[in-house]
A and B are shown apart, each in its own frame.
Chain A
Amino acid sequence: MIKLSRIKVAVLMLILLLSLTGCGKSADGKIHLTFQIWDVYQRPGMQAMCDAYTAQHPDVEIEVQATSWSEYWTKLEASAESNTMPDIFWMHTNQLLYYADFGMLADVTDLYDDVESDYYEKHFSEISRRNASGSDGHLYGVPKDKDNGLLVYNKEMFDAAGVSYPTEEWTWEDLADASQKIYDKTGKYGFMAYNDDQLGYWCFVYQAGGHILTADRTQAGYTNPGSVKAMEFYVNMQKEDWCPDQTYFTETAPGTAFFSEAGAMYLEGNWNLPQLMENYPEMRGKWDLAKLPKCADPIEDSESLDQDGRATMSNGLCYSTSARGKNREAALDVIKFFGTEEAQRIQGENGAAIPAYIGCEETWRAAFDSYDEKLDLDVIFDQFDYAVQAVYNSASPKWKSQVIDELTRIYSGNQDLMAGLENMERIVNTETAKKLEK
C-alpha cells in the first residue's frame, strides 16, 4: 500500500474541499452562470445567444445545460427547494404559476423600464405575456417563443388515392372522407388521431365552440355541448378502420408511423419540424404542412371564443431566474438581453424556435434554409391569427395526469365517453377549487 504522509493527506483534503466550493465568482474573476434547458435541439440556438451576450460582457460565462423534459421538472423543483436553482432556465406555462405563486421566480415586470415603459406590450403578443404572467398579473419570465400545432400530410399517399391536398377550407368531414379514401385505395392509415391534448383534442374542442377551461381559468368545460361534440368526433376516430387505436400509438408514436409511411396525416407541433427534416432525409419533399381542419357547425355559447370553427393551440416558453439566486442581478441582465430583438433574432435564425418578439417571427424560416425541399411554412405564421392559448391554470400539474388516466380509460373502452367527461370536469374543478382556496 502507498503510504501518504500527513501533510500530503492534508493537502489532498484541501484540494477536495476547494473543488466542492467551485461556484459563483471563481478564480478567473468571471461570473459563471448556468442555463438549464430541456430541448437538446435548441442548444445551438441558445448557445449562440449566450455567445452574443458574453461577447459584450467578457466578465460573464454561461454554461448551457440540456436535460430531458421529464427530468427537468423533477430536478428544478428539488433545486428550488434547496435554493440551488440554475441561474437561468426555461419556464413552461404548465408550471409557471406553481413556481411564480410560491415566490420562486424573480419578478421581471420592471426589467425594461429603462428602455421603454411598455416594452412587453409593444413587442410581445397578449398570449405571450399571459404565458409569462403569475396569478398576480406580474411577469415572471421574459417571453421566449411561440408555437402552434399543424396538420402534417403525406403528399404521395394523397396522390395515390386521388385525393386533393388539404386546404384551409377543409372541415372535419373532409378529413374523415380523405382518410377513408386513402385507406381504401392504399391500405395506409388516414388521419392518426392519438391521445394528446395540445396536439389533439384541445384543438378540436375549441374549433367546435367548446372549452377546456373558462376564460378566467376557474371552471372546466369538458361537458359543454361544443366540447362533447368535439370529443365524440375525436375519440371515435379511433374506431374507424383508417385510424390506428391507442394500443398502436402507445408502441408507435404517430410521428414514427407517419415517417415510416404507415399513415397519411397527424398533428405535429412546429417546434419538431426542423428535427423531422433532419432525421428523415429520405422523406423530404414527400410531405407538407396544412392548417388544421375546421368544424363546419360549431356550437356557440357564452364561453365560446370567436373562432368560427377554426382553432389551433399556441403555447410559449419564457426565460426565468430564481427570486433568491446568488447571481440574480447577473442573470437578470442576461434574460433582459434574451428578450431583445437582437437575441430573439439569433434564436430564430438558428432555427431554435419561433421568436416571441413581434416582427422577428419569420427569422425562424432560416431553420429550413439548408433543405432544397420546401415546406409551406406560411401555414404556421397564418395560424397565429386565430390560435388559442394552450390551456392551463395553477392546478394543472395536479389535474393533468388524472385527466390523462380518465381519457385512457375512455380509449380502452373501460369508460363511457360522457361519464368520463363528467369525471374529467369534476377532477379539474376539484383540484382548481383546492388551489384557489389557498
Chain B
Amino acid sequence: MNNKLSAAARREENWGWFMVAPTIIGLVVLNLWPFVQTLYASFCEHEGFGHYKFIGLQNYVDMFMNAEFWKATWNTIYFCILTVPVGIALALLIAMLLNANVRFKGGFRTIFFLPLVCAPAAVAMVWRWIFNGEYGILNQILGVKIQWITDPKTAVLAVAIVSVWSSIGYDAVLLLAGLQNIPKSLYEANSIDGAGKVQQFFTITLPMVSPTLFSVLIMRLMASMKIYDLIYMMADETNPALTDMQSLMYLFYRSSFVAGDRGYGSAIVIWTVGLILLVTLVQFQGQKKWVTYDI
C-alpha cells in the first residue's frame, strides 16, 4: 500500500480536520480543559476567588472519612436503582403503544414528550405542591397523610417519581425511532410461523431495538448519577430528609458553592466521574451479551 497520500487526498484530509475543528475546539475548551482544571482543583484547597493551594490528597482523605459523602454515594446509587429500570421499561412500553395503530398518535406523542420541554424548575415546583403533606393533591386522592418530601423514607422515592415522569417521554421517542426501523416483514414472517405477541416481543422487538435500548440505558444511567436540579428545587436546606436524599452532585453544589470549598467539591466530582466511568465500562462489556447489531 502506498503510504504517501496524493495531493488531492491530503487536501481532502485537511478539509476533514477543518470541518470537525469547531466541534473539537469546543470540546477541548468547554469540556476537556475544565475537566483538567477540576482534577487539579481536587488536589487543592480553595482559598477564595480562584486562588488554589496544593494540598495533595487531603480532600480525598477527608471525603472518604466523611459519612455524609458515603450516604450521598449510596443515595445516588439508590436513585439509579429506583429510576433507571422502571423508567426504561415504562419508556419501552409507551414507545410500543405509540408505535401501534392508535388514534391521535401524534397527540399522544406530544403529550408524552411535553414534560421534557418544561423547565425542570417549574416541574419541581408543581410536583412539590402535588406532594405537599398538608394540602397536596396526591395525599387527598390516596386518602393518606404521607410527608412525601420530608420523610426520609419517601423523599428519594418522591424525587425518583418526578425524574421518571419527566424523562420518560424523551426515552420513549428515542425507542420509538428504534422500533420504527424494524422491518414489518419480520413480524409478518413470524406470525405466519404461528408466533404469539409475547414471543414476537422477545424474539424480534427486543433484539432489534437493543442497540437503541443500550444507548438509552447509558444516557439514562449517566443522567441519574448526575441528578441535581430536582433535588435542589424540591429540598430546602432545612428539610429533615436532606441527608437522606442528597445526591453526589447536590453535595458537590453545597460544598463548592454554599460552603465555598471548591477543592473538596472537585474531589466529589472526580469520584462521580470515576463511578460513571466504571458503570459505563461494565455496561459496554455487558452489552456484548445482549445487544444485537446485525440482523
Chain A residues proximal to chain B, CB less than 8 Å: 73-74, 77, 80-81, 98, 102, 104, 194-196, 246-252, 397-398, 401-402, 404-405, 407-409, 411-412, 438
Contacts and interface: CB of A to CB of B under 8 A. Distances in A.
Interface stretch (B13-21, B45-53, B174-182, B281-289): B45-53
Contact of A397 (B240, B242, B259): B259
A250 B134 contact: no
Given A401-B254, A408-B240, A248 B261 contact: no
A220 B131 CA distance: 38
Interface in B28-77: 47-50
A246 B238 contact: yes
B264 to A, nearest CB: 11
A98 B238 contact: no
Given A247-B133, A250-B239, 20 more contacts: A74-B257, A77-B49, A102-B48, A102-B49, A104-B49, A247-B147, A247-B150, A247-B240, A250-B149, A250-B240, A251-B150, A252-B134, A398-B259, A398-B260, A401-B237, A401-B254, A404-B237, A408-B239, A408-B242, A412-B240
Nearest to A407: B238
A410 B148 CA distance: 20
Given A102-B49, A405-B243, A408-B239, A248 B133 contact: yes
Interface in B202-261: 236-243, 254, 257-261
B259 A402 contact: yes
A411 B260 contact: no
Nearest to B258: A401
Contacts of B243: 405, 408-409
Given A251-B147, A398-B259, A246 B240 contact: yes
Nearest to B135: A252
A98 B51 CA distance: 13
Nearest to A244: B134
B165 to A, nearest CB: 20
Given A251-B149, A252-B134, A411 B240 contact: yes
Contacts of A102: 48-49
Nearest to B148: A251
A40 B279 CA distance: 45
Contacts of A104: 49
Nearest to A245: B240
Contacts of A401: 237, 254, 258-259
B133 A408 contact: no
A74 B260 CA distance: 9
Given A104-B49, A247-B151, A397 B237 contact: no
Contacts of B238: 194-196, 246, 249-250, 404, 407-408
B133 A80 contact: no
26 contacts: A81-B49, A81-B50, A98-B48, A102-B49, A194-B238, A195-B238, A196-B238, A247-B133, A247-B147, A247-B151, A248-B133, A249-B238, A250-B236, A250-B240, A251-B132, A251-B149, A251-B150, A398-B259, A401-B237, A401-B254, A402-B259, A405-B243, A408-B238, A408-B239, A408-B242, A408-B243
